[in-house]
DNA sequence: CGCCAAGAGGGAACTGAGTCCCCTGAAGTC
DNA sequence: GACTTCAGGGGACTCAGTTCCCTCTTGGCG
C-alpha cells in the first residue's frame, strides 16, 4: 500500500480553493504553491501540468480499469464486461460527490479544462476498445465493432454522469448509469447466450432467416451476415 | 466568396515543412515565421495557437457541417442524416490526401496534437448530437440516444478514416466509411430507399425474412427491426 | 561517532507560447 | 492633400513548464 503524501492533497486543496474563488485561468502556479506553503518546483513533482491538479485521481482510476479488464473474466459477455468497467469510473466520481460537482462546474466553464478532460476520457475509451478488440479478434469487423461499442459505452456513461452532476448529486448515479448502459446493451446485444436462430440457404440467390421474435437483433444480424457470405 | 489570403497558406506550408523535417515540438513559432518571411505577430493573426496550424481547414468544415444539419432536411431519417454529415468530414480529408496522411503521421506521434485533435472531433460530435437531440425531442431517452448515436457515428467514421490514412490513401475512403457507417445504421437506424425484401409475420412468435443475397445488409436489418416490432 | 549515499524539497534561471500595446505603411475616401 | 482604415511588424510582458544545482534530512554502515 502506498503511503499518501499529504503534500499532494494540500496542493489539490489549495488549487481548488483558488480556482473556485478567483477562477482557473486567473490562478497561477505561484499562487497555488504560495497558499500551500511549498516551493513551485514541488508542484510539478506531483502534477505534470496545471490541468492535472484538477483530475488528481483519474490516473489511479484508469489503472484500476485496465487491471479489471486484464484480470481475465473472459467467461463474461464482452459488452457487459466493458459496461462494468465503465461503472468503475462512476464509482470514483461517487466516492467524493461534492468534489466531483465542483470539478464539473469548473470544467464546464474553462475550455482548456474541457479539452484536457477529453484526453482523459479518450484514454478510458481506448482501454475499453482495446479490450473489445481482443475479445472480437477474428470477427470480420472486429476492430470497427470494438471502437463503436466502446464509444457508445463511454457516451452513455458520460450522459448519465453529467445528468447526475447537473443535479448536484441529488439523483442516484448508479441508477442513471445502469439505465444508460442498458440502452447500449440493447442496441449491441447482451446475448442471453441461447438466441434461437436458424439459417437455411437456398438456391436462387435467396436467403431465408427464421428467427424468434424476441431474439436479440445483433444475433440475427450475425447470422444473416454469415449466411450472406460477407467477408 | 472570401478571397484566400496567401499568407495563411504560406504559414501552413512553412510549418509543415519544419514539422516534418525536425518534429513538431522541436519547431518554434519563430522558426515558422522566419521561414515564411513574416512577423511573429502575423502567425497569431491567422492561427490562435500553434496547434491550429496543423488543422487549418477544420473550422470551415465544422461550419459546413452545422450548416448542412441546420438546412432542414427533416424529411430524411435522422441517423442517415448525421451519417451524411459525417461524410462531409471524410470529403475534406479526401480533398487533399497527401496532406491528410502527413498530418495523420504527425498527430500519431505528438501527444499534444492528439489531444488537440480530440477537441476538434468533440466539436463535430457535439454538432451531430445537438442535431439528433432536436430530432429526438419528446422521445423518452432522446438526449441519451442522441449522444450515443453521435458517438457511434463518429467512432465508426474515425475507424474507417484511420484505416484509410494508414493505407497512405491507397484504399477507397468512401467505401470504407460507407461500410463502417452501415454498421452503425444496422445497430441504431431505420434507413431509406430500396431493396428487395419481403417480410411475413406468422403466429407462434416467429418471423421469416426472405432476402436476396446481394441485398444491402442495413436494409435487411431495417425490415427485421420493424418485423420484430422494435420501436 | 563520523561518513556517506539517497532522496525530498527548494530556488533561480531559462525556453517558448500566447498577449498587449503601439508603430509603420499602404491603400482607399472625401 | 488630409483622414481613416487596416494588414502587418516590433518588442516587451506573463506564465507554464524545464533544467540545473543547492540544502536538509534520513538512515545505513564503517
**Does A1 touch chain B if contact means CB atoms closer than 8 Å?**
no
The DSSP annotation for A71-117 comes to S--TTS-HHHHHHHHHHHHHHHHHHSHHHHHHHHHHHHH-HHHHHHH
Whole-number percent of chain A with pLDDT over 70: 80
| pLDDT higher than 50, residue A198 | no
Closest nt to residue B26, judged CA to C1'? C16
| pLDDT higher than 90, residue B115 | yes
Q: Which chain B residues have a beta carbon less than 8 Å from that of A183?
A: 141, 144-145, 148
Residues 6+ apart with CB under 8 A from B94: B100, B173, B174
pLDDT digit string (tens) for B85-110?
999 999 999 999 999 999 999 999 99
Please answer yes or no on whether B205 and A228 come within 8 Å at the CB atom: no
**Does A194 touch chain B if contact means CB atoms closer than 8 Å?**
no
Prediction pTM value:
0.84
Cα of A215 to nearest chain B Cα, Å: 9
The CA–C1' separation of A38 and C13, in angstroms, is: 19
- State which nucleotides on strand C lie below 7 Å from a protein beta carbon: 8-12, 15-21
Mean pLDDT of B203-216: 58
The residue among B51, B113, B187 with the most chain A CBs within 10 A of its CB, best to mutate, is B187
DSSP type of residue B3: P
DSSP type of residue B211: E
Q: Which chain A residues have a beta carbon less than 8 Å from that of B179?
A: 141
Q: What is chain A's mean pLDDT, rounded? A: 87
State the pLDDT at residue A162: 97
Q: Are B191 and B177 in contact (CB under 8 A)?
A: no
pLDDT digit string (tens) for A112-136?
999 999 999 999 999 999 999 999 9
pLDDT digit string (tens) for A64-111?
999 999 998 888 999 999 999 999 999 999 999 999 999 999 999 999
The CA–C1' separation of B88 and D17, in angstroms, is: 38
pLDDT digit string (tens) for A130-174?
999 999 999 999 999 999 999 999 999 999 999 999 999 899 999
Which of A3-12, A175-184, A192-201, B62-71 is predicted with the least confidence, judged by mean pLDDT?
A192-201
Percentage helix, strand, coil, to 5, in chain B? 70, 5, 25
State the pLDDT at residue B169: 87
Q: What is chain B's mean pLDDT, rounded? A: 87
Looking at the DSSP bridge assignments, the partners of residue A210 are A198, B208
| pLDDT higher than 90, residue B145 | yes
Whole-number percent of chain B with pLDDT over 90: 75
Q: Are B148 and A155 in contact (CB under 8 A)?
A: yes
Mean pLDDT of B23-48: 96
The residue among B148, B158, B176, B186 with the most chain A CBs within 10 A of its CB, best to mutate, is B148
Amino acid at each position: 500500500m502506498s503511503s499518501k503524501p499529504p503534500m499532494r492533497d494540500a496542493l489539490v486543496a489549495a488549487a481548488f480553493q483558488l480556482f473556485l474563488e478567483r477562477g482557473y485561468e486567473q490562478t497561477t502556479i505561484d499562487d497555488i504553491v504560495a497558499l500551500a506553503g511549498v516551493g513551485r518546483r514541488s508542484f510539478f513533482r506531483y502534477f505534470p501540468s496545471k490541468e492535472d491538479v484538477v483530475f488528481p485521481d483519474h490516473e489511479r482510476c484508469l489503472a484500476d480499469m485496465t487491471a479489471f479488464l486484464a484480470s481475465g473474466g473472459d467467461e463474461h459477455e464482452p459488452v457487459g464486461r466493458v459496461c462494468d468497467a465503465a461503472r468503475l469510473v462512476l464509482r470514483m466520481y461517487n466516492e467524493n460527490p461534492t468534489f466531483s460537482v465542483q470539478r464539473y462546474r469548473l470544467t464546464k466553464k474553462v475550455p482548456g479544462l474541457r479539452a484536457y478532460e477529453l484526453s482523459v476520457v479518450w484514454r478510458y475509451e481506448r482501454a475499453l476498445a482495446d479490450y473489445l478488440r481482443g475479445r472480437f479478434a477474428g470477427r470480420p469487423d472486429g476492430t470497427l465493432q470494438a471502437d463503436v461499442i466502446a464509444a457508445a459505452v463511454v457516451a452513455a456513461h458520460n450522459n448519465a454522469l453529467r445528468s447526475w452532476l447537473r443535479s448536484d448529486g441529488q439523483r442516484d448515479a448508479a441508477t442513471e448509469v445502469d439505465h444508460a448502459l442498458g440502452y447500449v446493451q440493447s442496441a449491441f446485444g447482451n446475448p442471453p447466450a441461447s438466441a434461437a436462430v436458424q439459417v437455411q440457404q437456398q438456391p436462387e440467390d435467396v436467403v431465408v432467416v427464421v428467427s424468434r421474435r424476441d431474439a436479440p437483433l445483433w444475433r440475427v444480424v450475425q447470422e444473416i451476415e454469415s449466411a450472406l457470405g460477407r467477408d
